[in-house]
Amino acid sequence: MTRSERPARAARPAGKRPVNSRAKAPAKGSARPAARRPAARPQEFTLPETLTPALPAVEAFDELDMPAGLLKTLTAQGVTTPFPIQGATLPNSLAGRDILGRGRTGSGKTLAFGLALLARTAGRRAEPRAPLALVLVPTRELAQQVTDALTPYATAVNLKLTTVVGGLSISKQAGSLRRGAEVLVATPGRLKDLIERGDCRLDQVSITVLDEADQMADMGFMPQVTALLKQVEPDGQRMLFSATLDKNIDRLVRQYLTDPVVHSVDPSQGAVTTMEHHVLYVLDETDKKEVTTRIAARDGRVLLFLDTKRSVDRLVKRLLASGVRASGLHGGRSQPQRNRTLEQFKTGLVTCLVATNVAARGIHVDDLDLVVNVDPPVDHKDYLHRGGRTARAGESGSVVTLVLPEQRREMTRLMSDAGIAPRSARIKSTDEELAALTGARVPSGVAVTIEVPQQPVQAKPKTRASRPARKNTGGGSGGGSGAGGGAARLGGASRGSRGRRGRPDRGAEGGRRTAA
């Protein structure tokens, strides 16, 4: 707004006007915090009324009409009792109803839509490039989490599940779709690219799930999402699940959900009962750095959130030099790097994960009991999703936010929007209270290095195996004993040989059977 106002002020003849406007700028202390927040007070839309009464909730999975393979896998995975959002929505989603479900992170949303999707798709077979069920997610990390969570259950009912996200080989993803996949987990941008290439079509998708639709709206994906929804079966089932539901997705719900069953485990503005919230006021940037370092050196894992990629990289470098086994996660890393970092954090090789909001949704780490906002989040939704990495599935955890003096007013407004009354304290890096709350301690000071695992290259044995076949073909005997049927053909000359040799894993000897 300020840029559009400047020409109007400059056009006025009074020379003192620009001086006065400059003098007034510092006086408007609320202008800078207000510009940082996307809305003055985010509001939820009025939930649609359900015309057809919903089926009653269940208290056990065996009360549901699901394939035996799914029930057996639930037991094998240690999932014995449905979470509230699962018990409430599964009877209706299994019956084919559209669903609008809201539940906090860690409340079991993935299985709430995943079990219904797999049960209703079981027994069907997908044609090449034509999946039967689609799960749209906003980020690669959430796509990976959904894939990991649903893969055992998809295997149990003999369904093939594939994932398409940016940052990974689009050719390999296209190959998976060509071989046929009943269930597709995708981010909107990569799926759009595959459709434009002719590697995927959605006309046979009868079940569509939007997971964390509000974040897709916040990230500007709504035009792509609506374009994709227009391509699926018009009378198919649609389910929308999210931790927060605000007016950003009002039009989406009203346009694409038909008489949905609405279920809300808990409101968007509200705290998880097993989660503690602490706001710690630090003196200045210098002490904030020392507080952060000591918390990162705690005995146990911790997830630190910062605003920018650059600040993440700087903090990781400083922590490694101090003796903390830290690693960074942000959008500037390739997908294999991000996957490796997450795996190292889950296994304990890395004890401190430093991340931007790329990790705020879609990451599940067992027994993570502390999340620290080194840089306070922009709005209450970011706060809730950052904090949602701890206190998952009924476990306990703490969320700590470090606040500088100039951030105090903004943080108070954010907590009010989130519906949270945190415990607050003024602390220094040497205070015992900091150690009691977070386990903070002085790092060893001995620099550490996080090893990068070397992945063996397996292409050489295949290349060597194909070379004798090419030599036999050149002999011109025609009766050839070369590997594969192509060695006995003469007409293709070198071009045909290269075509087969370039794809040794997809020959007639069962390459497609082993690709799954």
Q: Do 93 and 241 fall within a single domain?
A: yes
User: In Å, how far are 175, 251, 465, 500, 509 from 496, measured between CA atoms?
Assistant: 21, 54, 17, 7, 17
- Please check whether residue 158 is in contact with residue 135, taking contact to mean a CB–CB distance below 8 angstroms: no
Q: Do 223 and 348 fall within a single domain?
A: no
* H runs (alpha helix) in 390-481: 408-418, 432-438, 459-474
CATH code, 165: 3.40.50.300
Residue 434's φ and ψ, nearest 5 degrees, are: -65, -45
Q: Do 244 and 284 fall within a single domain?
A: no
SS3 135: strand
Residue 494 located in a structural domain: no
Q: Do 169 and 248 fall within a single domain?
A: yes
Q: Do 253 and 289 fall within a single domain?
A: no
pLDDT in tens, the chain (516 residues): 444 444 444 444 444 444 343 334 444 343 443 344 444 444 556 677 778 899 999 999 999 999 999 999 999 999 989 988 899 999 999 999 999 988 766 668 899 999 999 999 999 999 999 999 999 998 888 898 899 999 999 999 999 999 999 888 999 999 999 999 999 999 999 999 999 999 999 999 999 999 988 778 777 788 899 999 999 999 999 999 876 766 667 778 888 999 999 887 654 444 445 678 999 999 999 999 999 999 999 999 999 999 999 999 999 999 999 999 999 988 888 878 888 888 899 888 999 999 888 765 666 777 788 999 999 988 887 887 787 777 555 567 889 999 999 999 999 998 888 888 899 999 999 999 999 999 999 999 999 988 765 444 444 445 444 444 444 444 444 444 343 343 333 334 443 434 433 443 333 333 333 333
Q: Which two tokens stand for residue 265?
A: 């485990």
Question: Domain total for the chain?
Answer: 2
- Residue corresponding to tokens 């003055």: 40
Q: Please state, as a whole number, how many other Cβ atoms lie within 10 Å of the Cβ of residue 283.
A: 14
Q: Do 193 and 312 fall within a single domain?
A: no
Q: What is the extent of the structural domain holding 67?
A: 61-264
Tell me the residue type at 220: G
Question: Of 408, 438, 468, which residue is a domain's last?
Answer: 438
Q: Do 357 and 246 fall within a single domain?
A: no
Q: Do 250 and 296 fall within a single domain?
A: no
Question: Of 438, 467, 492, which residue is a domain's last?
Answer: 438
Residue 49 located in a structural domain: no
DSSP 456: P
Strands (E), 301-441: 302-305, 326-329, 352-355, 370-373, 397-403, 423-426
Interatomic CA distance for residues 208 and 213, integer angstroms? 12
Residue 453's φ and ψ, nearest 5 degrees, are: -65, 135
C-alpha count within 13 angstroms, C-beta hemisphere, residue 321: 6
Residue 222 located in a structural domain: yes
Q: Which two tokens stand for residue 32?
A: 């800078």
Residue 58: exposure state from Cβ atoms within 10 A (0-12, 13-18, ≥19): middle
Look at the alpha carbons of 392, 398, 404, 407 in this order and tell me if their dihedral is positive or negative: positive
